[in-house]
A and B are shown apart, each in its own frame.
Chain A
């Protein structure tokens, strides 16, 4: 009985921890900024691919390094996805604040682009993009120092855009012709790639009949560290204070001299970086492919919505709750407890597979949102005044 209970608690928490670490970044950009970021899953995917690249790099370095790659992968995944998030915020999202539907469509488009990017990224593509950015944005930057830039701006764009596109694609075509497969071969391809956990993360900790996989323990630990880190950052650091104040009242914060644009960028980069860490974590559980993020995006939105937009505590409670309920239903451990009541047994038997449990959890969430439309901990966020 005790063993069964422990087993249930551990498994519930382990599913919840995966949900939570995936949802943390989303909780920040959706909860604090009111941005519906459908590209969150793809940011996770980028984190997972970063892990794959770091793993392969460290494999070449040899024994002591190849066992510790996961630490470096976590850091690098955070940095890479935070940088991508920053570009995304500066390039797309900042033009769309306060327009949730446009944000939704734009980020969905970005998610499709990123998925296809992961499938077809090759040296030719990367070099082409780099040359284009260098020529186009470089020219804009150089010319922007001229006093009459505003007047000639449109002409600069009209001339530089085709020139940079042409040079970039011509270089790409030239490289492709010269070096053939060596540069045109996709880095990852459409095929899923595999991240292997280091040896010390394989197997599990034995407690009686219960075996707790080390990867799960690692993810639970990582989730705790991330939650604590975000808490400290938001509550104790000066930037955390600024983020919270902008979240509550943007115009007042701006009047008081807080650089709101910078705060937006930092918040979004932080949320994206957390997606990268989540990607690194989930690569220990499954495989890494262009669709990796898609499998998590719905679950993470459910966690954020059920928890109450704008409250991290809500996300924690919701993730643990959904994880545990999902586990209890799909593993049929509730069946013996309701044994005397026949219809209930039939109900739980019917929903007792992993795919059917999802249906029941979804139904429960819909029912719950009828009672508390704002989630577990409703709060006024920026989405209210936006």
Chain B
């Protein structure tokens, strides 16, 4: 066996190859890595004394954490949210920073894996000494980091619409509670599209909780749930659902869609193939925004509805500015959507709270100062309420030819958030108020 490598030779060649490749890698990657850290002037500087000052928390920067999935299945959605957060930080830094200091973002990747989220949250708080964290998308990741933030009495800004039924002192929720998205959508459908509802969702916590709320609401308001079905995440076989929809709604009716991810594509493609169009079977979705419309294909979604607080087409001067700034930074073919706007709001509300408290390090004062802050957001003027959720405008949009939404309904004023759902028996009559020490996260109204 002359051809076989001996063990010694193998080790020799192996280490030679490894050494060379590391050398080459180091040579080729040094210049770009230093340019990518433009957000942190001190870290980019080679002098060791400058970096130790920053690590000690002094100097002229304030460190904030950004904790999203940069890899894995959720990266598609969360990457754009990080883009929005970095845009807000850049804008604030350009305008002079917070309390005269520049904001320095410390990014961590949650990898779409919930234990990793908790681990990275701990790291950001203990090791990087950030004063607040902007992050998370799925309810599962939020539930995973919640104990960490409560244990450390720290602060998380959460930017995505969610199922409610939670109210933590340590989290500020800038996405919609159910009464700011799902409930108004159901009301509008009852008034304009019919009384019979079919519920379709992915098989995990958000759709199931949302559908429980919808069923209770329909019962209370004279609608009817004619059927419901859940698809495993990633499944593309929709035939049985279509059979059930046809059986339950032979002459058309409303479909409420809480599917997440790829299943949406299969669902809309096959609905169209089976001849169930938006004229007789209007679908209201709560997880499809501009980014998803682009991926799914406008031709399958045209005429269907979505409920959000913000669309790229919202007609406010502040939104024009936001969309322009975003496209200037990330490219003209990018779109903005609701979670991105909520993340953008979060950074600004935190900044205002810090300025009012005149400190970024004393979290208790920042928390107190955050309540009552108003911000002129792209969606309209929003206010942080005492239950740590914000009042938001509710909007319903119809997918138009260009893949953007035509707004068919919007509230005149911002709707106040109700985290504990008032249609579900278990949480009826419960409220949340962190400004009053006697009330707290769960009290009887």
Contact = CB atoms under 8 A, between A and B. Distances in A.
Nearest to A289: B262
B28 A169 contact: yes
A274 to B, nearest CB: 19
B244 A331 contact: yes
Given A203-B273, A333-B243, A354-B232, A15 B237 contact: yes
Contacts of A202: 272-273
Contact of B237 (A161, A294, A354): A354
Nearest to B263: A286
Interface stretch (B18-26, B177-185, B304-312, B387-395): B18-26
Interface stretch (B9-17, B114-122, B131-139): B9-17
Nearest to A19: B237
Contact of A193 (B228, B273, B295): B295
B438 interface: no
A287 B262 contact: yes
B297 A203 contact: no
A354 B229 contact: yes
10 contacts: A161-B13, A170-B28, A215-B269, A286-B236, A287-B266, A291-B234, A294-B234, A353-B203, A353-B228, A355-B235
Most buried by B among A7, A151, A192: A192
Contact of B239 (A193, A286, A327): A327
A311 interface: no
Interface of A: 7, 11, 14-15, 18, 150-151, 153-154, 157-158, 161-162, 165-166, 169-170, 173, 177, 190-194, 196-197, 202-204, 206, 209, 211, 213-216, 282, 284-287, 289, 291, 294-295, 326-327, 330-333, 353-358
Contact of A165 (B24, B231, B247): B24
B273 A286 contact: no
Contact of A173 (B28, B76, B262, B296): B28
B237 to A, nearest CB: 6
Nearest to B266: A286
Interface of B: 2-3, 5, 9, 12-13, 16-17, 20-21, 24-25, 28-29, 32, 73, 75-76, 203, 228-232, 234-241, 243-244, 246-247, 262-263, 265-266, 269-270, 272-275, 295-297, 299
A49 to B, nearest CB: 14
Shortest 6 CB-CB contacts between residues of A and residues of B = A213-B273, A286-B236, A287-B265, A286-B266, A162-B20, A330-B240
B295 A291 contact: no
Contact of A295 (B16, B28, B229, B234): B234
A194 B297 contact: yes
A154 B232 contact: no
Given A11-B240, A154-B13, A355-B230, 10 more contacts: A14-B239, A158-B13, A162-B16, A194-B295, A204-B274, A209-B246, A211-B275, A213-B270, A285-B236, A354-B232
A154 B229 CA distance: 61
Nearest to B244: A331
Contacts of B274: 204, 211, 213
Contacts, number: 143
Contacts of A153: 3
Contact of B275 (A11, A14, A203, A216): A203
A332 B239 contact: no
Contacts of A15: 237, 239
Contacts of A355: 203, 230-232, 235
Contacts of B263: 286
Nearest to A292: B262
B295 A170 contact: no
A358 B236 CA distance: 13
Contacts of B240: 11, 326-327, 330-331, 354, 357
Nearest to A357: B240
A162 B296 contact: no
A354 B299 contact: no
Nearest to B202: A355
Given A166-B20, A286-B262, A331-B244, A157 B13 contact: yes
B236 A161 contact: no
B273 A204 contact: yes
A196 B299 contact: yes
A286 B295 CA distance: 11
A282 B236 CA distance: 9
Contacts of A192: 76, 262, 265, 295
Contacts of A358: 232
Nearest to A150: B2
